[in-house]
């Protein structure tokens, strides 16, 4: 992927500028596909339920929402399941909006971190689940490997990292509009292995519009 990026600093700064122009709404977070939000959340719930609750299962104390935006996933998926949720996003306006969008439940948010994931260092041993959705395309391969390694160190016992993202049919497909890349599954699996993680479960999200990329969810540890 790195050979498709002319300049790393520009790759990141262009993405920041793109998101600063996006409306802080569910439709904005989903690139005009706000109508798929419920399908997405329901699919994520079914996936996550497999790992939660009971001895030897993943705990429900604290979750991290990566690339959280205004908190769409925090509100509908994570806060109903976890006692505390932290949000990290590169756009301060989105995090400011999250404080009102989350309503009364915002009191259970532990931290709002304004930071790109390439620079973010999650606290060691803090999280039961780290949810990373529709954001890995904004990281170079090397930065994604390094970020996943940091995530691994920030998990509690039996903790879980979940990646949910677009996958291309073959190779790496650049998006010059939002300054991101879409990887195929073999490359994503290779990155996961480089980070020292194992794929516990992998599923394709069903019932999304045919014109968008396939979306796959991977549970890692």
pLDDT tier for residue 6 given thresholds of 50, 70 and 90? confident
Which phi and psi angles does 50 have, rounded to 5°? -60, -25
Per cent of the chain over pLDDT 70 is 99
Is residue 22's pLDDT more than 70? yes
* Helices 185-194, 141-153: inter-axial angle, 10-degree rounding: 50
Rounded alpha-carbon distances, angstroms, from residue 71 to 54, 133, 195? 27, 12, 27
Domain of residue 63 covers: 8-220
With respect to residue 149, please indicate whether it lies within any of the assigned structural domains.
yes
State the pLDDT confidence band at 3, using cuts at 50, 70 and 90: low
For the chain, what is the mean pLDDT? 97
CA distance 107 to 105: 5
Rama region for 211: left / alpha / beta (φ>0; ψ in -120 to 50; rest):
alpha
Neighbours of 57 (CB within 10 A): 13
Judge whether 133 is annotated as a binding position: yes
Q: Is 72 assigned to a binding site?
A: yes
Q: Specify if 90 maps to a domain.
A: yes
- 1 within some domain: no
Q: How far is CA 213 from CA 63, 137, 165, 166, 170, in A?
A: 27, 13, 9, 6, 12
Cα–Cα nearest to 187, from 155, 134, 145: 145
Of 43, 55, 20, 51, the closest CA to residue 178 belongs to: 20
What is the helix (H) or strand (E) element at residue 180, kind and residue range?
Answer: strand 180-182
**R_g (Cα) of the chain, nearest Å:** 16
Say what the pLDDT of residue 2 is. 63
Residues in a beta bridge with 215:
166
* 54 annotated binding-site participant: no
User: Is 81 marked as a binding-site residue?
Assistant: no
| pTM of the complete model beyond 0.95 | yes
**Domain assignment present for 2:** no
pLDDT digits (tens, 9 = 90+) for 125-184: 999 999 999 999 999 999 999 999 999 999 999 999 999 999 999 999 999 999 999 999
Tokens standing for 220? 């890692």
- What sign results for the dihedral spanned by CA atoms 83, 113, 185, 160? negative
How many domains does the chain fold into? Answer: 1
Q: Give a yes or no: residue 178 inside a domain.
A: yes
Assigned domain for 102 exists: yes
Residue 96 has pLDDT above 80, yes or no: yes
Is 3 among the domain residues?
Answer: no
Answer for the pair 131, 67: CB distance below 8 angstroms, yes or no. Answer: no
Q: Is 149 known to sit in a ligand binding site?
A: no
Q: What is the CATH number of the domain that holds 159?
A: 3.40.50.150
Instruction: Identify whether 147 is part of a domain.
Output: yes
């Amino acid at each position: 992927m790195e050979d498709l990026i002319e300049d790393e600093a520009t790759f990141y700064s262009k993405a920041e500028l793109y998101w600063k122009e996006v409306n802080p709404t569910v439709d904005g977070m989903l690139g005009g596909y706000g109508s798929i939000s419920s399908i997405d959340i329901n699919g994520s719930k079914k996936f996550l339920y497999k790992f939660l609750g009971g001895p030897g299962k993943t705990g429900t104390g604290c979750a991290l929402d990566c690339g959280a935006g205004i908190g769409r996933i925090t509100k509908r998926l994570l806060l109903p399941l976890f006692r505390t949720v932290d949000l990290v996003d590169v756009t301060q306006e989105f995090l400011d909006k999250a404080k009102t969008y989350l309503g009364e439940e915002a009191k259970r948010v532990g931290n709002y971190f304004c930071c790109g994931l390439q620079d973010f260092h999650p606290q060691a041993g803090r999280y039961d689940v780290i949810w990373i959705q529709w954001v890995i395309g904004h990281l170079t391969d090397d930065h994604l490997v390094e970020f996943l390694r940091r995530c691994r160190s920030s998990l509690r016992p039996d903790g879980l990292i979940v990646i949910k993202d677009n996958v291309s049919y073959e190779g790496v497909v650049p998006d010059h509009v939002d300054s991101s890349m879409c990887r195929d599954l073999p490359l994503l699996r290779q990155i996961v292995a480089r980070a020292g993680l194992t794929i516990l479960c992998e599923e394709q999200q069903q019932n999304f519009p045919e014109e968008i990329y396939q979306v796959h969810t991977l549970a890692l540890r």
